[in-house]
Structure 1
Amino acid sequence: MMSALGIKTARLTASRFGDILLWLATAFPWMLMTALIVALLSLAPAHAEEAASDSCGGKDLMAELQKSDPAKYASILAEGDKVANGKGIFWKIEKSGLKPSWLLGTMHVSDARVVTMPKGAAEASAGADTIVVESDEILDDKKAMAALFSNPSLMMLTDGSTISQHLSPEENTKLEAGLKQRGVSLATVAHMQPWLISSSFEMTGCEVRRKTAGMKFLDQKLASDAIASGKQVKGLETLAEQAKAMSDLPIELHVKSLIQTLELGDKINDVNETMTDLYLAGNIGAIVPMLKNIVPDQNLSDDDTAAFEQRIILDRNKVMAERAAPILAKGNAFIAVGALHLVGDQGLVELLRKQGFTVTAAN
């Protein structure tokens, strides 16, 4: 599935399920999922003060690996070092005659450590004329959801089938048990696209609680603060375009990832914490090699990963770069998109360089 952060800079083969997790955290806006998941799980609203201190309880798997298997730990970091532009989440974009612009790789989470942003990013966003995010529709949840549901095929199974018909009896039992733990009946999600159901398990409980308390994820906060300051906010995609990218992939691929998500269980907290620590260290290139070593490969094929990477990462990278070009041509813009879109030889950093910009790590 997703972008090549592994052995070959832009082509993923082995990380598979780990790729899905990284993509969900760094390449797809959670606003779309939150409204659905909050309603789905029927969670009681949390108080903002409680949610802010809410811990996912995850552990840093890399720190554990460093102690238990130093050689493997070193090999993961070495593999990450091979990834083009895999170090750094904050970049300066320059071209003669223009004020500098900025590019920030984000995680679409409300974790205070992520929302704080790396050194210099807050000042750059405050001084920018235009704030650019993946989709400016994140500013209006209701409007965005209405637009998405105007095309039911993006979110629902519209061929008359149910999710159970795409699962084996054993898989169906796993799904039903997982939903029951969240207080949701199988009938409630029967006609949802499997990637939507999967997302309800991939989002950690603490993240759902923070968002139900009204806490904004990083991209959303940047856009909201910009509007409050009278700045212009622009989006590089629509949420419908992003959902279309997901729905374009074969349902069989989504079913595989759904089952693997269920099998991961509570380990999602550890995976999330480890990804967050690597993100905060600016070591995006090491995330997928890390995942390869902690999440066993199962039934996702190399063709599955390649299809996911092409449709969800590479195709969208091209669209983002093309739509960012006229904005960057005016200078003094601040762009914030999922960190996975920055890396690799077909990532935004390289694509902007091909447009004639000088792009250098700023942190």
Structure 2
Amino acid sequence: MTIPALAFNVDVLFRRAQNAMLWLLAALHILLLASLFLVLGSLSEADAATPACGGENLLADLKAEKPGLYEEILSEGSRVPNGKGLFWKVEKTGIAPSYLLGTMHVSDPRVLKMPPGAAEAQAEASTIVIESDEILDEKKATAALLSKPELTMFTDGSSIEKLLPREDVALLEEGLKQRGIPLAAVSRMKPWMLMAFVSLPPCELARKAQNAAFLDKKIATDAIAAGKQVKGLETLAEQLSTMAAIPMDLHLKSLVETIKLGSRMEDVFETMTELYLSEDIGLTMPLLKAVAPDGTDDQSGYGEFEELVVVKRNQLMAERAAPILTEGGAFIAVGALHLPGEQGLVELLREQGFKVTRVE
């Protein structure tokens, strides 16, 4: 059995892409955790040879097929507070300025190149802050995972085969097989861990197999090399607990739809990357909402995702960042999705009395 390269119409394509993009936004950092497991570690050097990256921006399809909807997305995105920009200056009278950078948790060389002024601000900062400083120590990260196996594995005798219909199990088995991973070896992994093996485009998967640094880790390791203090705003267990709190149905749906997308997952990844590179972070949520399938269940799932993965984590990050920012001279790097919106970090820090302005 093979997964056919389907000629998707724009509606089917975007409905499937919406689920995949939701998961990527929620859990790109989970790829970092999954890479600690033996599956990626078992790839041979030949398997790990980095292929050329491909993919096209899906917004171009939408612009051509549904120009009205495309314009609506642009219009809504333009109204998102702080929706444009990746790099922000954080100030308060009497305190040395700090900086806030939105990142993307991938090793794409385009993403590793920070916006103008960010490298200089990083070099001058006395404290570097990332989402979780546990990523600096693989032994520590692994210990954190093993201490709570229920967050990554089914520990109740269940398995992915028991949760999916037979035809979806066959799709999953074939999708994993194409990546050199037998289903039997990972069948007791939670779906958010399995997604790490089917959602990455080949070029990013190969870079991960070669232990290439993603932007957040590069920032942190550079800081350690320079003798700077590195702090985290969350623990890995907290991040995994957030994933576990998302309804299982949404995880399973995202897993199956991602496999059905096949090679077009490269388009999803490229779309996310180009939104990041153009600093149009505010377009992300309007895009997902616009292409979501009709139906209260999907809308409910989306709302729960936004509350758990975006709003609550933003509030926690802002609370933990406040005392660090009060000391001054900090450089904070977190996923770019956490910056925009009424409940984004930029607005939450302003509510704490900081002046936050975009660095252009």
Q: TM-score, normalised by structure 1?
A: 0.88
Q: Kindly provide the amino acid, as one letter, of the partner of residue 277 in structure 1.
A: E
Which of 294, 298, 301 is the matching residue for 1:301? 298
Q: What's 1:226 paired with? A: 223
Shift of 1:353: 0.7
Q: What's 1:57 paired with? A: 54
Corresponding residue SS for 1:35: coil
- Deviation digits for residues 146-186 of structure 1 (CA, Å, limit 9, x no counterpart): 21112110110111111111111121111112112112222
Q: Kindly provide the amino acid, as one letter, of the partner of residue 98 in structure 1.
A: I
Q: What's 1:259 paired with? A: 256
> Contact (CA 8 Å) 1:15, 1:288: kept in 2 or not?
no
> Contact (CA 8 Å) 1:18, 1:295: kept in 2 or not?
no
Matched, 1:22 2:25: yes
Shift of 1:20: 2.2
Shift of 1:237: 0.7
CA distance in 2, matches of 1:258, 1:278: 23
Shift of 1:55: 2.7
Q: Superposition RMSD on alpha carbons, in Å?
A: 2.4
Q: Kindly provide the amino acid, as one letter, of the partner of residue 39 in structure 1.
A: V
Which of 308, 313, 319 is the matching residue for 1:311? 308
CA distance in 2, matches of 1:359, 1:326: 16
Shift of 1:69: 5.4
Corresponding residue SS for 2:82: coil
> Contact (CA 8 Å) 2:136, 2:221: kept in 1 or not?
yes
Aligned CA distance change for structure 1 residues 318 and 101 (closer, same or farther; 3 Å): same
Percent of paired sites with the same residue: 54
For residues 1-363 of structure 1, the aligned pairs below 5 Å read 17-25=20-28, 28=29, 30-36=31-37, 39-40=39-40, 42-45=42-45, 51=50, 54-63=51-60, 65-66=62-63, 70-291=67-288, 301-363=298-360
Corresponding residue SS for 1:301: helix
In the alignment, structure 1 segments of 5+ residues that lack a partner are: 1-13
Aligned CA distance change for structure 1 residues 283 and 105 (closer, same or farther; 3 Å): same
Corresponding residue SS for 2:333: strand
Corresponding residue SS for 1:99: strand
Corresponding residue SS for 1:265: helix
Aligned CA distance change for structure 1 residues 71 and 323 (closer, same or farther; 3 Å): same
In the alignment, structure 2 segments of 5+ residues that lack a partner are: 1-16
Q: TM-score, normalised by structure 2?
A: 0.88
Total equivalences in the alignment: 344
Corresponding residue SS for 2:357: strand
Corresponding residue SS for 2:88: strand
Corresponding residue SS for 2:35: helix
- Deviation digits for residues 271-315 of structure 1 (CA, Å, limit 9, x no counterpart): 111211111111011133345567767996222122222222211
Aligned CA distance change for structure 1 residues 109 and 300 (closer, same or farther; 3 Å): farther
Corresponding residue SS for 2:36: helix
CA distance in 1, matches of 2:154, 2:303: 24
> Contact (CA 8 Å) 1:128, 1:332: kept in 2 or not?
yes
Q: Kindly provide the amino acid, as one letter, of the partner of residue 94 in structure 2.
A: G
CA distance in 1, matches of 2:235, 2:291: 34
> Contact (CA 8 Å) 1:40, 1:184: kept in 2 or not?
no
- Deviation digits for residues 18-63 of structure 1 (CA, Å, limit 9, x no counterpart): 32233334xx353212223x62583223699x64xx4321122334
